[in-house]
Chain A
Amino acid sequence: MLSGLLKPTSGTISFTDMKENRDIRKSIGYLPQHPVFYKWMTGQEFLVHVGRLAHLSKSEATKRAKKLLERIGLTDAANQRIGKYSGGMKQRLGIAQAMIHQPKLLILDEPVSSLDPIGRREVLTLMEELKEDITLLFSTHILGDADEVSDELLLLHEGRIIESGSMEALREKYQIAKIELSFDGNLRDYQKKVEALSAVTACYTDQSRLHVTVEDMAEARRHILAAASAEEWPLTSFSINRASLEDMFMKAVNS
């Protein structure tokens, strides 16, 4: 809808400094999940074409296309037919075509989900750079990616925004104090002992670690370490964890 492809059933979309009734598409760049190009065009030609569609002059469009191709690292492939591009190259070209008219807002729909690890890294790095200049809005299912590049977060569940805010604020809100322990030997033997300590609220194990949620971090740490040294537990690691985005998401969905 923001991109102008769907008509809103009610309401309007506008930018703060935008004149009434202006085409919002001028201020928006959009990259669909699976961008498709004219295969018979070269990367350079495609960028110039969409640039001119966005009312740039021919020389201006050519200049910007060159610059963008350099920025996304496709200068060598500029004069190759797009039909021959790899997935990562197409995704980067997709970002370039979305930026050719210097939009205020860049919307990316799952920009990295269909890419191999190398392509993913390329695109994430590019996004890191881009967010210095313009507003990026992107959707993803991979919470780790969101964690890596986002400053602010909107959590969607069943079509509604269930949580939003800056990363910091959300971390604060969903702070789960958690300690992870790992041992040489059977974890379950120690689970009961840890559970019995005061300040510990819950305790569960997975393959290699014992996860301990606590009420008061400082007190819990003292108790655990004291017990560990008194009974000479074969501890191999002790770590205090921040809540991951996944924890946040689960908690927000459940509440």
Chain B
Amino acid sequence: MQWWTLFQKELIENVRNIKWIWVPLVMILLAIVDPLTNYFLPQIIDAAGGMPDGTEIQLPEYQPSDVVMMSLGQFNSLGVLVIALMSMGTIAGERKSGVAELILVKPVSYTNYITAKWASLSLLTLTSITLGMIASWYYINLLFGDLSFGALLQVVFFYGLWILLVVSISIFYNTLFKIPGLVAFLTFATVILMGVITSIFAHVLEWSPNNISNYIQQMLVTGSVPSDLIGASLVTLIMIVLLVGGSVFIFKTKDMAE
């Protein structure tokens, strides 16, 4: 009941501040920009001119799985940044402005407050990512080769887990700090740092959440789900639960006013 009230409020807020319009649009744009530029590269080079006659440019032939990776690659950098920026104020901002004081003196369960925010952000980002991948899938089938809808669903499912982890990291920092900018910075920095650590200790961190997109490519090439992908997904799920649980715990022990 109360959870639903909080969740609805988040949805309405994100509709009124048009996040429900710009976030999906940005994600669609990010998903299709690389596939399209790569496909039209020969024409672009032609149109730009300046090449001596007889120049032969060898461009690689892209497989559908390569193109999926282009979209995911954009999500991994700019997509994560967009998520960090649009979620940075969800709790931190409310505490900074002082609205949280009014809301939390009502008999509001902190668990409801945080999980409702997490759920609303998750819904928004997952929807945006899915729309982006559908757009990418459309151009893949049009320009590069066949990719089944089932394969697309698998991609969205496993990649969605990674995206939920990013949202959870942001929520976690939101409960720790009151400054939205700091929350966005730490979220982005954490994701990058995790990537660095994963590649340095690649041999022991096979199940690192950062590897999910690599395993997705493997899955598309071989046509079956690699066991490492299952492992990485489990680790991701556990981290999400720990982060959200930790956020609630921090919030319960924290003083809400100075």
Closest A-chain residue to B108, C-beta based?
Answer: A53
Contact flags (1/0) for A1-39 with B, using CB distance below 8 Å?
001111100000000000000010110111010111110
Asked whether, in the complex, the Cβ of A53 is within 8 Å of the Cβ of B2, the reply is: yes
In the complex, chain A residues whose CB is within 8 Å of the CB of B16? 40
Asked whether, in the complex, the Cβ of A36 is within 8 Å of the Cβ of B256, the reply is: no
Asked whether, in the complex, the Cβ of B98 is within 8 Å of the Cβ of A40, the reply is: no
Asked whether, in the complex, the Cβ of B107 is within 8 Å of the Cβ of A50, the reply is: no
A25 CA to B2 CA in the complex, in Å?
A: 15
Interchain pairs with CB closer than 8 A, number: 70
Counting contact residues on chain B (CB < 8 A from A), the size range is 20 to 34
Chief secondary structure at chain A's binding surface: loop
Asked whether, in the complex, the Cβ of A101 is within 8 Å of the Cβ of B255, the reply is: no
Asked whether, in the complex, the Cβ of B255 is within 8 Å of the Cβ of A54, the reply is: no
Asked whether, in the complex, the Cβ of A5 is within 8 Å of the Cβ of B108, the reply is: no
A101 CA to B253 CA in the complex, in Å?
A: 25
Which of these binds chain A: B5-13, B76-84, B124-132, B151-159?
A: B5-13
Closest A-chain residue to B113, C-beta based?
Answer: A53
Chief secondary structure at chain B's binding surface: helix
CB distance from A221 to the nearest CB of B (A): 52
| B103 interface neighbour in A7, A26, A28, A50, Cβ under 8 Å | A50
Interface status of B204 (Cβ within 8 A of chain A): no
Contact residues of B between 129 and 174, Cβ < 8 Å to A: none
A30-B102, A36-B102 given; 17 more Cβ-contact pairs under 8 Å: A4-B105, A5-B105, A5-B256, A7-B253, A7-B255, A23-B107, A30-B105, A34-B98, A35-B98, A35-B102, A36-B99, A38-B9, A38-B99, A52-B1, A53-B108, A97-B102, A101-B106
Chain B residues within CB distance 8 Å of chain A? 1-2, 5-6, 9, 13, 16-17, 97-99, 101-108, 253, 255-257
Q: List 10 A-B contacts (CB under 8 A).
A: A4-B105, A5-B101, A5-B255, A5-B257, A6-B255, A6-B257, A52-B1, A52-B2, A53-B103, A53-B107
